[in-house]
Amino acid sequence: MIDLAPTTAPITMEERYGTFAGAGSGMPSLGVLWLAALARRAGYSVEVLECAALGLGYGEMVRRLEELRPRVLGISATTVSIGQSAKLAGMVKERLPATLVVLGGPHATAMPPETLEKTRRFALSLPLTDISVTAMTPLPGTEIYHTAAAHGDFDNRWEKMNLLETIFVPHGLSAETMARCQRTMLRQFYLRPRIIWAYIVRLLRNPGMAAGALRGLAAFLRTVRA
């Protein structure tokens, strides 16, 4: 068993680059490699399984994961590979239910309302038990901190950069629309019988979580009712 397996989903050069497949790069994701390096430096056992670079298909990928039995599988996905990533996540949860699957990555915002709606439907279609829905915060020291104002309204006061308040609103959206979409996604995801039952089971197995769960529930209700 290992602690972490950072990966990308299987995707062909044609799926990634279309008509430019012949000129596309099969190099591994730098984000995946950075994550692996940081985890190893912190003392965790890590095995990188970059499907595109290694030429792994779904079957071979799942077999490798069954051998490694990672505690956490981190799937890095962009817009073009989100469908493949969802398929891989479902296969892994079916074969390795004890593995925590974390999926995320940059997503296109060329059509903001449509993108938010598709993201909502996508999250509801996955076999997930938890999601995080937050607005992007351009933190100091990042490249986007210096360019955010060119792409939307950016409140760069450091005291508001708590990852909870909306301080960056991209062109084509409003803060009200983003907050409404966040509330809708959280409400529709968590107020489902499957998710509620999963939390009840967690509490029955770990009664010590009760106080924290109640605080989380109170924060959740404040958010979705705001």
pLDDT, tens only, 197-212: 999 998 999 989 888 8
Class (C level, CATH) for 1-107: alpha beta
Give the gyration radius of the chain's Cα atoms: 19
Distance CA 164, CA 39 (A): 25
DSSP structural state of residue 102: E
Beta-carbon contacts of 190 under 8 Å, excluding residues fewer than 6 positions away, are: 196, 220
For the question of whether the overall pTM of this predicted structure is more than 0.85, the answer is no
CATH 3.40.50.280 domain locations along the chain: 1-107
pLDDT digits (tens, 9 = 90+) for 24-55: 677 777 888 888 999 999 999 999 988 878 88
pLDDT digits (tens, 9 = 90+) for 157-185: 999 998 888 999 988 889 998 888 889 99
CB 114 within 8 A of CB 142: no
Instruction: Give strand pairing partners of 4.
Output: 46, 72
pLDDT band at 109 (very low <50, low <70, confident <90, very high): low
User: What count of Cα atoms within 13 Å lies in the side-chain half-sphere of residue 3?
Assistant: 11
pLDDT for position 108: 61
Cβ atoms 148, 154 nearer than 8 A:
yes
* Whole-number average pLDDT of the chain: 87
What is the predicted pLDDT for the residue at 19? Answer: 74
DSSP for residue 46? B
**Average pLDDT over every residue of 113-124:** 83
Please give the structure tokens belonging to residue 147. Answer: 């360019």
Q: How many CB atoms lie within 10 A of CB 92?
A: 23
